[in-house]
Chains A and B, each alone.
Chain A
Amino acid sequence: MTKKDLILILKQKAKELRKDILTMIYNAKSGHPGGSLSCIDMLVGLYYHKLRIDPKNPLWQNRDRFVLSKGHCSPAIYAVLADKGYFTKSELGGFRMIGRMLQGHPELNTPGIDFAGGALGQGTSFAVGIALACKLDKINCNVYAMIGDGETQEGAVWEASMSAAFHKLDNLIVILDKNQVQQTGKTKEIMDIGNVAMKWNAFGWNVIDINGHDMPQIVKALDKAPKLKNKKPTIIISNTIKGKGVSFMESNHKFHGKAPNDEEYKRGMEEIEKIDVKKFK
C-alpha cells in the first residue's frame, strides 16, 4: 500500500467513526461529543496504523498500551475498539445504559481498554507505571497516553511528566489533544495553560507539534515518536478543534458534555456525510 492510499483509508475510517460517535451519544442522550470528535483522527492513526495490538488477544503481553486519560472521550475509543473487533458493534447501542458493558467512562473489563479513565489528571501516572513495568520486564513495546489540554491544569499531570523524564521512559508517548476548549469555555479563559511545548520541553521531553486533524502529519508524528529512543519520553502536541467535523459543535464548549437533540443529530450526521476526506484537515 502506498502512503497516499494509507492516508486515504485512515481519513475514510475517521469519517465513518465520527458517525458512530455521534450516534452513540445521541442514543444515550448523554456523553461528550466535543472531545471525542477532536481526538478521533489521532485515535485512527494510532489504532489503524501504529499500535502493535491483537484484538483477539487484548491483554497480549507484548502489545503497545493505550491509556485514554481523557476518559470522557469514551465514545471515540469505543467506536474504534468495536470496529477493530474487540467486541461487537451492537455493544455501541448500549453505551451508558444500565446492565450493558460500555460504561460512561471506560472500565478495565471492556476488552481493549488499558485504563479506566474519568478522573482527569490520572492517566499519565498510570502510563508511567506501565512504562516502568515494561522496562523492568524488558517488554519491547510502547505506552501511549492521550490527555486533554484542560486536563493539564491538574497538577498531577506535571508530577507524572517530571517522573517520566526522571525515570528515562523513552517507551512512553503522551498525546496532548489540544482542542483549546473545556467544559465551561475556552481553556485560555478558564486557566491558560500557556506555552505547553516549552513546558514539556523544560520537563525533559521530546516535543512534536502537529495539526491533529491532518492525517499525513499524524502518521508522520506517530512514525517518528517511538523511534526517538533517546532516554526521553515524547509528547505529541496534537492541535485540534473541539467538535471537529460538525460545524455547530466546533470550538463550542456547550457540546463538551451534551448530546445532540433530534434536529442536531440529523444535521450533524449530514455534515459528517458531506466531509470531503481529501480536503479534510
Chain B
Amino acid sequence: MEIQKAATRDGYGKALLELGKINPNVVALDADLSDSTRSEYFAKQFPDRFFSMGIAEQNMIGAAAGLAFSGKIVYASTFAVFSERAYEFVRNIVSRNKLNVKIAGSHAGIATGEDGKSAQAIEDIAAYRALPNMAVLQPCDSIEAEKIVFSLGDYRGPSYMRMHRNPVPTIHNPDYKFEMGKGEVLKQGKDAVIFATGTLVHEALKSAEILENENIQVYVVNMPSIKPIDTNLIVNLARKTNCVITAEDHNVVGGLGSAVAEVLGENYPCIMKRIGLQDIYAESGKPDELYRRYGLDAESIAEEIMRFVSKKG
C-alpha cells in the first residue's frame, strides 16, 4: 500500500474548517500567513469569524485573548517562531488568565529548511512549556493534528500547538484517539526506548528498523503531549529498558528531552540521551540535508543509539 503523506499544518487547516462548521463559536486569527498555516480554509468558508490581523503578532494575541474572554473558542495561527514575538502577551494575558486561546505555530524546527535560521523555531516548546496553565502539543502527522484541533475545541484553557511545513507519512488511522497527557507506544522493544515528538517520530521509527538489523529492539513512543506529559509511561519504559533516548527537532534545552529528564530525575534517575539541536542554530538547506548534518535523521539516531546501548553494556 502506498504511504499517504501530508503536513501537520494541513491537518490543522482541515480540522479547523470542520470545527467551524460544527461550532459557530469558533473563531480564527492569523498574522498574514493564513496560506502557510492553512487557516485560510476556515477564512474562506467563514469570513465573518476570521480576523486578519496583519503582520502584528502581539496585537493578534491580545485580540485573541479579548475574544476568548468574550466566550469565543479562539485559534490564532502564525509561524512558530513569530508567535514568540508575542511571548509576553501570551504570558501576561493568555496564560496568566487561563484564557481559551489555542496558539498554533507552524513551520517549526529546522525542517522548515531553506528559509534558514530566522524561520526555524527551535526554542518554542521550551518557551511555552515554562508558562503556567499552558498545554504544549505537537502532532506527528496530519491525522494527529486534526485530532488535536478537535480535542482543543473541547478544552478550556491556553495551549500551544506546534506544526510543521513538510509532508510526513500519515501513520495514524482516522479512528485514532488523541488524549492530552498521554504518549503512544508505536513499536514495542526491550533494549531501549525512544521518546520522539513531531517530525522526529518518523525518523525514530526508521531508526528502529535499522537497529532491528543490529539486533537492538527499541520501543518507539510518540509524545504529542509535551505538557502535560505522560509521567507513568516514561517511568515504566525507563524501568523496563534502563536506556532512554529522546528525539525532537528542537533545542535539547527545554524541549521534550528536558521534560523527560525532569520526569526521570524525580522518579527514576537514569542516564539518558537527548537527540535534537545541541544548543545551536542551524542554517539554510533542504530538510533532509539538514537532518543529516544536525544528527536528526534515522541513520544518525540509530548510530547514536548503538553507541549508547553498547555503553550501557
Interface residues in chain A, defined as those with a beta carbon under 8 Å from any beta carbon in chain B: 107-108, 114-116, 118-119, 121-134, 136-137, 155-156, 159-160, 162-163, 166-167
Is B62 a contact of A124 with CB atoms below 8 Å?
yes
Residues of B close to A136: CB separation below 8 A: 27, 48-49, 72
Cβ-defined contact, A127 with B66, below 8 A: yes
Q: Which 4 A-B pairs have the closest CB atoms?
A: A129-B66, A125-B62, A133-B70, A159-B59
A108 to B64, CA, bound (A): 16
CA distance A160 to B61 in the complex (A): 11
Name which of A124, A133, A160 has the most chain B CB atoms within 10 A of its CB: A133
> Are the CB atoms of B54 and A126 closer together than 8 Å?
no
Q: How far is the CA of A121 from the CA of B86 in the complex (A)?
A: 12
Q: How many residues of B contact A (CB 8 A)?
A: 27
| In-complex Cβ contact of A159 among B27, B51, B58, B64 (8 A) | B58
Q: A116-B92, A125-B65, A125-B89 are in contact. List 7 more A-B contacts (CB 8 A).
A: A116-B96, A123-B62, A125-B58, A128-B59, A128-B63, A130-B70, A163-B63
In the bound complex, residues from chain A placing their C-beta under 8 Å from that of B56 are 156, 159, 162-163
Interface of B is mostly: helix
What is the CA–CA distance of A101 and B147 in the complex, to the nearest angstrom? 39
Interface CB pairs A-B, < 8 A, 12: A115-B69, A116-B97, A119-B92, A119-B93, A122-B92, A122-B93, A125-B59, A126-B93, A127-B66, A128-B63, A156-B59, A162-B54
Residues in A with CB closer than 8 Å to B63 are: 125-126, 128-129, 132, 160, 163
Given contacts A136-B48, A156-B62, A159-B56, contact A130 B69 (CB under 8 A): yes
Q: Which of A107, A118, A129, A137 has the most CB of B within 10 A?
A: A129
Closest to A161 in B: B59
With both beta carbons as reference points, the residue of chain A lying nearest to B52 in the complex is identified as A166
Q: In the complex, are the beta carbons of B53 and A133 less than 8 A apart?
A: no
Contact A129 B89 (CB under 8 A): no
Residue of B nearest to A71 (CB): B92
Assess whether B88 is interfacial by the CB under 8 Å rule. yes
